[in-house]
């Protein structure tokens, strides 16, 4: 039942597939930090209209990158970070984004969620990226312990869901969390999963 709902919400809005190359996914993740999805998308599209590779990024003046990504907020820090990451990719990885989670985590500004998103959406490597939506909804449904951290949630979800369904989990829960299982005032009555949801059962009792 959960997989059916996740597939439905996954196919409703494939935001992550706007940017198909691993590098574009990585940079859009850096831009997404501490901002809204629509701001990330606008900044990413403006930047990628000028530069879509580490080489091209390094050819752009820092001020121009700042202007292009301004909609994402914190644009000065993010512009420096994008330049820094692009330089490392060229010097250490011949301009390619690593396919190893360990190597990705060594890049400045890359944490557990970003590394998982890059592997999943950039390289097509099965892994579940855990953001605030995945974390919140998994706990509300009772799939994982309320005390679990993001990495524990990822490991538990990867045990629960078959590998061929992993790709639906992140974006499916993200879209579902924005439209139904909201952080505040979730729309429980219209939720297709309410009958198996611990949060809804507690709310009713």
Element (H, E) at 59: helix 54-59
Q: 131 an active-site residue?
A: yes
Which residue is listed with tokens 């809005």?
13
Please tell me the distance from the alpha carbon of residue 7 to that of residue 46, in angstroms, as a whole number. 30
Q: 113 an active-site residue?
A: yes
Mean pLDDT over residues 140-144, rounded? Answer: 98
pLDDT value of position 16: 45
Say if CB 153 and CB 130 are below 8 A apart: yes
Give 154-202 pLDDT, tens digit per residue: 999 999 999 999 989 999 999 999 999 999 999 999 999 999 999 999 9
Average pLDDT of the residues of the chain = 93
Please tell me the distance from the alpha carbon of residue 48 to that of residue 19, in angstroms, as a whole number. 9
pLDDT value of position 203: 85
pLDDT value of position 26: 96
Catalytic residue among 42, 113, 167, 194: 113
Give 2-49 pLDDT, tens digit per residue: 999 999 998 876 554 445 799 999 999 999 999 988 899 999 999 999
Give me the count of residues in the chain: 205
Q: How far lies 152's CA from each of 63, 72, 128, 147, 155, in Å? A: 40, 30, 11, 9, 5
| Structure-block tokens of residue 85 | 């990451």
**pTM check: above 0.75:** yes
Please tell me the distance from the alpha carbon of residue 72 to that of residue 80, in angstroms, as a whole number. 14
Give 68-104 pLDDT, tens digit per residue: 999 999 999 999 999 999 999 999 999 999 999 999 9
Catalytic residue among 42, 131, 167, 194: 131
């Amino acid at each position: 039942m959960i997989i059916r709902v996740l597939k439905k919400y996954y196919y409703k809005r494939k935001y992550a597939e706007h940017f198909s190359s691993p590098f574009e996914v990585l940079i859009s993740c850096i831009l997404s930090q501490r901002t809204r999805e629509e701001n990330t998308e606008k900044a990413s599209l403006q930047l990628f209209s000028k530069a879509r590779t580490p080489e091209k990024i390094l050819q752009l003046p820092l001020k121009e990158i700042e202007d292009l990504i301004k909609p994402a907020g914190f644009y000065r820090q993010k512009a420096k970070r994008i330049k820094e990451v692009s330089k490392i990719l060229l010097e250490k990885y011949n301009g390619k984004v690593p396919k190893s989670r360990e190597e990705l985590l060594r890049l400045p500004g890359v944490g557990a969620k970003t590394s998982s998103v890059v592997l999943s959406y950039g390289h097509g490597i099965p892994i579940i990226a855990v953001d605030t939506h995945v974390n919140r909804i998994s706990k509300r449904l009772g799939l994982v312990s309320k005390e679990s951290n993001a990495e524990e949630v990822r490991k538990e979800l990867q045990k629960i869901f078959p590998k061929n369904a992993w790709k639906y989990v992140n974006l499916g829960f993200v879209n579902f969390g924005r439209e139904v299982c909201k952080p505040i005032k979730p729309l429980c009555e219209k939720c297709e999963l309410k009958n198996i949801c611990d949060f809804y059962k507690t709310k009713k009792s």
